[in-house]
Chain A
Amino acid sequence: MSEIQIRTENITKIYPGTRALDNVSLSFVNDKVNALVGKNGSGKSTLVKILAGAIKPTSGEFFLNDEKLHFDSTSDAYAKGIVSVYQEMSLIPGLSVAENIFMGRLPKKNYQIDWRKTFNMAEELLNQMKVSIDPHTLVYRLPMWQMQVVEIVKALSFRPKMIMLDEPTSALAQNEVHSLFNAIRALRDQGVIVIYITHKLQELPQISDTVTVLRDGKSVGVVNTKEVSHKEIIHMMFGEVKIQSRPKNIKISNECVLEVKDFSSTGWFKDVSFNLHRGEVLGIAGMLGSGRTELLRSIFGVDQVDKGELIVEGNPYHNLNPIKMVKAGLGLTPENRKTQGLILMHSIRDNLTYASMNLTADGWIENTRKRNQFAERQVKDLQIMTSNIGNRCDTLSGGNQQKVVVGNWLNTDPKIMLYDEPSRGIDVSAKQQIFEIMWEQARKGVSTIFVSSELEELLEVCHRILIMRHGRIVDEVDPDKVSVNELYEMCMRGD
């Protein structure tokens, strides 16, 4: 099989304020699974988007073998045989596997769809991937990993030279991952360049042949997977990190405000127990899929647990739901502010006062004046940048939207705040402001649980960090006594 190679030369991508990629020169060859790793914001998705034709580099060039590539759109990239499979499923659940694979390109005979040919072609492709999926099956009946395989087969049906897989295992269970890996190896053996993007380092020895590490938009190096240890890869990913110190004047009392006892939820987490003290900022470190988001949601009563007890300030709570938990003094800023935290079409004022509705009203009659006061107070305290609180919430930037979500809860005078990835998709200064808010609240005696996949943030903000892995709390660390690398290693360790 002839060698094909994709090569980038000094690719730079500048966004206002940041250099997403900085003179990146790399090459990926076929017959290998090339892993591409790096922490959030390292530039890996920018690189993938450039190769897939979704965005253009600010400067630099890239080549397929010796042909210089220039893409105006993703369809240009397709035409050159470069396809990408994203985390989000693009399949249509109500159609068969075969129809999904050949969507928009179904073979025809006499102006009619040639079904026999469609299913035969699909069957042939699926066989190449060494999986037994009946092409007649409706997609929604398939398990998650088989859907991923169908995605890959769909990409394969374009006879590509290169396939980029963006975190294909993020939604899969452990046993499903192995089945998917078999399919990816089959893909590699057909002579396609495979680029495998992941943040799960424990997968690397199983699936990848080479590992390319990006850090802060720069290529740190390419290594053979067999020749490096986890530790070395983590070191390449993080380098030397300086952690900003948190204010020392926050006093944690010994008083326990929240006790989680034996929380279990099938498929998500098991036997989780911990305590939270008054004024404490407690971090939960864990990778995507470790069960951290589900744990927070369950504490707030959004999802039901199978087993477990929750004690808030000495009072046990059962059959949790958000209405009860708000009354108990809890607040949750959810993972996705746009779909779970805000009502984007409504005003900033409304969004700042939904959770505190019962406090701003006189009984069940609305008090507009009080509601305005509550909203204005948060706009001022949290420095939400807006000219008018009557404006729609979707006119705000991401950081300001996140502050509205936080302000909505601060208006309820919470005792315990749960933050799920509060810094996702917001800029550095907004991030710092959110942390300042957490500390400010801690000084007032509010206890905080802070979940984040940005481990540096946890080290910077928290008093204590719990490590969550595969749905269990496996360790507890003092942020002053652990480095980012060590923390990452703890979250990643496969057991």
Chain B
Amino acid sequence: METTANGILPMKRNKVFLFFLDHIIEVCLLVLIIGLAIGAEGFMSWANWMNILRANSLKGVIAMGMTMVMVAHLIDLSIGSIVGLSGVIVAVVCRDMSARGMDLDIACVLGMFLCLLMAFGIGSMHTYFEHKFRLPSFIVTLVSMGLFLGLAGRLSGGFPIANQFPEWYNALGGGRIGGQNGIPIPVIVLLISFVVVWFIMGKTTTGRATYAVGGNPESARLSGINVAKTKRVAFIVVQIMAVISGFMTSGQVMSGTFTFGKSWEMDVIAAVVVGGASFDGGIGTVWGTLVGVIFIGVIGNGMTLLNIDVHTQYIVKAVVMFLAVLLTSYRTRIKL
């Protein structure tokens, strides 16, 4: 009996410990929410929560796609520029085509369609250079970041292109469903993109291939997995997410501005990493990323409610991210 107890108990404890470790971000978030609910006035109000979600959904949508990219052990730094560029493209198409007599709604749809087409093109191009030429995705997309920021600037002439969109397009970023206190549309888009990427990652062969490719590309290739195709899907998904985020961002301020989205890539990557994805690929979930997005949003909102100055907020966020990465690296080294 003694030996059985000795043999099994630590194992059980170990499993509980591992479960706790696997869900440490959720636990932290819960603790944080409880703390703020008690300490910060107005935190638990519906309006404040919708505010938190809306403010973070624009980057959150991209973080869903970025999870896929990072699980595949890739990175996409160009997303910020794509956010700006897609807003500019839609604005330019709306302005120029309606000036030539095209119906504004049709022109806007055409612009959006072009952006989505561009997402496919850029994602495929990234895959091509990363896979065929064995260039690091960091470098390939760093080049894209500069390239597309510049192109967006040229296309827009360096100025915001304001008041060109139809009403429904503006609503994509600024509208709510259910009246003034309803759910903001970007939040709904965030949830939809979460479900879509969650489905791809968890329920399809492509998703499993993504984990395999990120875990060990050589083993994946030798198992007959189509590595190039898997990378392409991840690169295209994140680009589509960036374009959608660009629609919402430009709609929200009713203007296509090329600097929208600039330097978002670091915030997006931070959310994915806080959510538990490994920088070395092969590990990570969209659920984790969703929690990561909300976590970062709640910290920022809480600190604002508590009148903590913006500089201190940066420090706190940096420390939180550092701790999250520390935990992730610790967790991925634990074996059962």
Contacts and interface: CB of A to CB of B under 8 A. Distances in A.
Given A323-B226, A354-B208, 16 more contacts: A300-B222, A332-B222, A342-B216, A342-B219, A343-B216, A350-B212, A355-B224, A357-B225, A361-B205, A364-B205, A366-B205, A366-B207, A388-B336, A391-B336, A392-B335, A412-B224
**6 pairs of A and B residues whose beta carbons are closest in the complex:** A326-B224, A343-B215, A354-B223, A355-B223, A343-B216, A322-B224
Nearest to A330: B224
Given A346-B212, A346-B215, A392-B336, A354 B283 contact: no
Contact of B222 (A341, A344, A350, A364): A341
Nearest to B229: A323
B219 A339 contact: yes
Interface of B: 202-209, 211-212, 215-216, 218-226, 282-283, 332, 335-336
Contacts of B223: 322, 326, 354-355, 408
B203 A325 contact: no
B208 A340 contact: no
Contacts of B225: 323, 354, 357
B335 A366 contact: no
A394 interface: yes
A368 to B, nearest CB: 9
Interface in A325-352: 325-327, 332, 334, 339-346, 350
A358 interface: yes
11 contacts: A339-B216, A343-B220, A344-B215, A345-B215, A346-B282, A354-B212, A354-B220, A354-B223, A364-B204, A364-B206, A388-B336
A302 interface: yes
B229 to A, nearest CB: 9
Contacts of B222: 300, 302, 322, 332, 334, 340-341
A343 B335 CA distance: 14
Which of A300, A322, A345, A346: most chain B Cβ within 10 A?
A: A345
A206 interface: no
A391 B282 CA distance: 15
Contacts of B335: 391-392, 394-395
A350 B35 CA distance: 40
A346 B205 CA distance: 16
B220 to A, nearest CB: 7
A365 interface: yes
A476 B209 CA distance: 41
Contacts of A323: 224-226
Given A322-B224, A343-B216, A357 B209 contact: yes
A91 B37 CA distance: 58
A300 B224 CA distance: 10
Interface in A2-30: none
A300 to B, nearest CB: 8
B209 A395 contact: no
Q: Quick one: which of A300, A358, A364 has the most chain B CB within 10 A?
A: A364
Nearest to B280: A345
Interface in A306-335: 322-323, 325-327, 332, 334
Interface string A349-390: 010001101100100111000000000000000000000100
Contacts of A326: 223-224
B277 to A, nearest CB: 13
Nearest to A300: B222
A343 B219 contact: yes
Contacts of A364: 204-206
B233 to A, nearest CB: 11
A341 B219 contact: yes
A366 B210 CA distance: 13
A326 B208 CA distance: 17
B226 to A, nearest CB: 6
Contacts of B332: 345
Contact of B211 (A340, A346, A395): A346
A392 B212 CA distance: 14
A364 B205 CA distance: 5
A348 B335 CA distance: 12
Contacts of B211: 343, 346, 350
A339 B218 contact: yes
Interface centre among B204, B205, B222, B336 (most CB of A within 10 A): B222
A234 to B, nearest CB: 35
Contacts of B219: 339-343, 354
Contacts of B224: 322-323, 325-327, 355, 412
Contacts of B209: 357
A108 B118 CA distance: 57
A325 B335 CA distance: 34
Nearest to A302: B222
Nearest to B336: A391
Nearest to A331: B224
Contact of B202 (A332, A355, A366, A388): A366
Nearest to B216: A343
A257 to B, nearest CB: 18
Residue of B209, B212, B223, B226 most packed against chain A (CB within 10 A):
B223
Contacts of B206: 364
A357 B204 contact: no
A49 B1 CA distance: 43
Contacts of B216: 339, 342-344
Contact of B221 (A322, A342, A345, A388): A322
Contacts of B336: 388, 391-392, 395
Nearest to B283: A345
Nearest to B213: A343
B212 to A, nearest CB: 5
A354 B211 CA distance: 10
A365 B221 contact: no
A332 B222 CA distance: 7
A369 B282 CA distance: 22
B219 to A, nearest CB: 5
Nearest to A341: B219
A350 B203 contact: no
Given A302-B221, A322-B221, A322-B224, A345 B282 contact: yes
A374 to B, nearest CB: 13
Contacts of A394: 335
A408 B203 CA distance: 20
A385 to B, nearest CB: 15
Contacts of A355: 223-224
Contacts of B215: 343-346
Instruction: Tell me which of A355, A358, A394, A395 has the highest count of chain B C-beta atoms within 10 A of its own C-beta.
Output: A355
A357 B208 contact: yes
B21 to A, nearest CB: 14
Nearest to A354: B223
Contacts of A361: 204-205
